A = this chain, B = another copy of it.
């Protein structure tokens, strides 16, 4: 055991821990004889144990003091478990339908006990690769984003509450720094961690590093990420952080949570939908040309933004006489100005979303961490072709994002052949 009381739990120690922890023991009806325990994490980043007993179940997630990155160990504070638990609880309170319940948190052990998100839930990214449509996905994720972002912003909070919350999440600086590095820096310079589908994309990766306009735009986004405390964001809202069935959508893993720009979350999700779109040609085969599925993805992109916009502005309307201090009712309670500030806010947020979404796409093609959407395309030439189209679109989106007035214009641009 380390001097701070932390010890990584193996299966045997886990059972003892559960027995000694009333909240967890009670979840299992205090019966420990027929427990099924399965370790499903990779064991290099976190331990993730599924624990199923005769009368209840949960997941135990324990953070380890490092992350594994392309074969090398990268030290990473295990305090991230604290911020993950805080964000799960806060976002869960605001949107219980789409966030797993936290049963137990142990700061010393960096350990969270939470709802087991049972089969047939799968990771959304795997659903995209398999070509499965989720008719409620856009509606659910739009509700999640609208509620978690609205209620933690100055549209709902007083500046006193906001500054207190900002202070707390400033502590998650190490995870923020990881994002700064892998999203906003490494893809734009030579880095030992970068990789791409070589040699096909070598020139494309080099072009990213030498594109001054692109680097100018990325600098602006990085500054916004570091300086602007707009709302409590998830911080890593890609399609690997979402578990789905056709009827259920659950957002997990908010260990990167902090007060940052809303567009970083919305952009992460939409950017990953666009990646899923561009990967489809690599998954097409004789049985399924994926054409209809691509149409569905595009519809989901448009629906996600439009439903987010609808939900978010509806919350704003409902709460326009509420506690939020960004727009005081005595100043902004006439119809014309209320409409004007909403339109300006949502337009700026769309542009932030497109910028961050594009940055997240680029880093998944020429940075350290790639996505299974492309990685699962076995043939490198075919994979590179898909990735190149996605990269070209992302570069255009990053540079020209302020010219898009609606998500429909973005969808049209995705459909056009990439020049």
Query: Chain A: residues with CB nearer than 8 A to chain B?
Result: 154, 159-160, 162-164, 166-167, 170-171, 173, 176-177, 180, 185, 188-190, 209, 212-213, 215-216, 219-220, 222-223, 226-230, 325-328, 330-332, 334, 336-337, 340-341, 344
Contact = CB atoms under 8 A, between A and B. Distances in A.
B216 A331 contact: no
A87 to B, nearest CB: 17
Given A226-B154, A227-B228, A216 B341 contact: yes
B173 A222 contact: no
* Stoichiometry, copies per complex: 2
B160 A177 contact: yes
A160 B330 CA distance: 39
14 contacts: A159-B180, A162-B226, A167-B167, A167-B170, A185-B328, A209-B331, A212-B340, A216-B341, A216-B344, A219-B326, A223-B326, A226-B325, A226-B326, A227-B228
Contacts of A229: 227-229
A389 to B, nearest CB: 25
Given A212-B334, A215-B331, A173 B163 contact: yes
Contacts of A337: 212, 215-216
Contacts of A162: 226
Contacts of A330: 189-190
A227 B159 CA distance: 9
Nearest to A337: B212
A183 to B, nearest CB: 13
Given A219-B326, A220-B344, A226-B326, A176 B188 contact: no
A159 B227 CA distance: 9
Contacts of A328: 185, 189
B331 A185 contact: yes
Nearest to A214: B337
